[in-house]
Amino acid sequence: MEAAERCGNAVESKTNASCGANGTQGSGVVGAPVVDLAESRARIDEIDARIIDLFQRRMRISRDVAAYKKATGMQVFDKTREDAKVARAREMADAEFKDYMPTLFDLLMEMSRSYQDGILAHETELSHETRSIERAAFPQSARVAVQGVQGAYSHIVATELFDGPNVSFCSTWEDVCDAVETGEVEFGVLPLENSTAGAVDRVYALMQSRGLSIVRAATMRIEHDLLAKPGVTIEDVAEVFSHEQALRQCEGFIAGLPGDAVASVRANTAMAAQAVANSPRRDVAAISSEACARIYGLEVLARDIQDEGDNYTRFVCVARKPALYGNPTTSSFLIVTPHIAGALHRVLARLATLGINMTKLQSRPIPGREFEFMFYVDVQCVPGDEAFNAMARQIPTLCDVCRYLGSYEEISC
């Protein structure tokens, strides 16, 4: 059969159809119907224009609904009404499009709720609080509390954040928060999460229970070394001291040590190095930093022993009150949503509707409430931004708890 004959049926079924030299149609797929792309796009543009007009008419009517709800004290969100609308949309749609209806109408109704909330302009405690925050230059020197002893990673971060800080060393992270709350120091530095071991649970618990605000964040690449007294060899090591996070980050290395060395938890990596230096034993080592080797007179037996090469820890600098230092780009919130289906989805959908980029969503159990969770949320907007101001008014209305943790600049150490 010649090429022209192989194209016959396609030409008859669609005017202006074309056929390639190899007998295939213009689409490049044998047997596929030929369409006029420009014509199809023109029809889509026409339909889109009608959709825009209908959408605007729908939103103007929702404005009238908002006025009625405001006058009568009704809530913006009406779950029974919205569930019924989604079910009705599925019934009305053709079979091949039924599964698209929930997504389409969820989006339409979320935009309507956002528009209504904007009209109602709820004045929340959060929106009032963030209006009073002023911008300032980040202080070059300050009184700063860190957990541990000289050489701890928090101490190193404090010296990176501030120029010659007056550092107070505390035994626990709780003590760091106490020092900030009482005014003994102006700032505290706490580790929040690690790229390998995950969140530092106790610090997240403190963020939930204390009224402190994040005013800056710093990410440091962590390079763990194995330290011991001069003359000790790696074969001598029977016990390894370090912080629980560091031990977790080096589990593979510890497992490979000769002599079945055991791991022992210390308050932090610097205190582990100090404990090795002060111990009468010569079969102990510490996972710590090279800086601590110099400080405590130890030798480095092995370098970069963490199981993952890219090992980073994120630290936060906290203060008693929120402040906008430098060029803040990130804001953090603690939220608790109602314990009903779709509650978190509504918060995330509202952020999307407002055009806000969420960079982190971290869940933590709520103490005393079985299988219920609070969420830590990082977003890329700050007080003064139009999107942030809208968020500060609207998100609290969707939550049982919405606590602002601060806005800050992120730096690398």
22 lies in which domain range? 1-35
**404 within some domain:** yes
Q: Do 276 and 352 reside in the same domain of the chain?
A: no
pLDDT of residue 26: 45
Does one domain contain both 238 and 264? yes
* Structural domain contains residue 180: no
Quick: pLDDT tens for 83-138: 899 999 999 999 999 999 999 998 898 888 888 877 776 666 777 778 778 889 99
> Quick one: 329 and 251 in the same domain?
no
The reported pLDDT for the residue numbered 369 is 80
174 part of a folded domain: no
The verdict on residue 194 lying in a domain is no
Confidence label for 217 from pLDDT (cuts 50, 70 and 90): very high
Does residue 172 sit within a domain? no
Q: How confident is the model at residue 11 (pLDDT cuts 50, 70, 90)?
A: very low
Whether 76 contacts 113, CB under 8 Å: yes
Same domain (yes/no): 5, 53: no
pLDDT, residue 250, reads 94
Dihedral-angle region of residue 259 (phi above 0 means left; psi in -120 to 50 means alpha; beta otherwise):
left
Together in a domain, 47 and 31: no
Are both 28 and 50 inside the same structural domain? no
Predicted pLDDT at 123:
62
SS (H, E, C) 272-334: HHHHHHHCCCCCEEEEECHHHHHHHCCEEEECCCCCCCCCEEEEEEEECCCCEECCCCEEEEE
User: Among residues 75, 94, 121, which one ends one of the domains?
Assistant: 121
Mean local confidence (pLDDT), 212-216: 95
The percentage of the chain sitting over the pLDDT mark of 70, rounded to a whole number, equals 91
What does the DSSP assignment read for 227-263? EE-TT--GGG--EEEE-HHHHHHTHHHHHTSTT--EE
Contact 274, 149 (CB under 8 A): yes
Residue 288 CA: distances (Å) to CA of 132, 221, 227, 292: 42, 13, 7, 7
**Whether 348 and 406 share a structural domain:** yes
Domains identified in the chain, total number: 4
Q: Which two tokens stand for residue 122?
A: 């709820």
Whether 394 maps to a domain, the answer reads yes
Angle, nearest 10°, between helix axes 201-209 and 173-182? 30
Q: What is the CATH number of the domain that holds 246?
A: 3.40.190.10
pTM: 0.74
Which of the two residues, 214 and 34, has the higher pLDDT score? 214
Model pLDDT, residue 370: 78
CA atoms 252, 254, 260, 266: torsion sign: negative
The token duo for 274 is: 């100090």
pLDDT at 2 over 50: no
d(CA 249, CA 148): 19
Q: Is residue 138 part of a domain?
A: no
| Res 145 pLDDT > 50 | yes
The verdict on 26 and 46 lying in the same domain is no
DSSP conformational letter for 25:
B
Same domain flag for 30 and 44: no
Tell me the per-residue pLDDT of 252-263, one tens digit each, with 9 for 90 and over. 999 999 878 999
DSSP state of 356: P
Q: Do 31 and 41 sit in the same domain of this protein?
A: no
29 confidence band (pLDDT: 50, 70, 90): low
By mean pLDDT, which of 33-37, 65-69, 170-174 is the weakest?
33-37
Structure tokens at 262: 């055991």
Over the chain, what is the mean pLDDT?
Answer: 87
Among residues of the chain, what percentage have pLDDT more than 90? 62
Residue 406 lies in a domain: yes
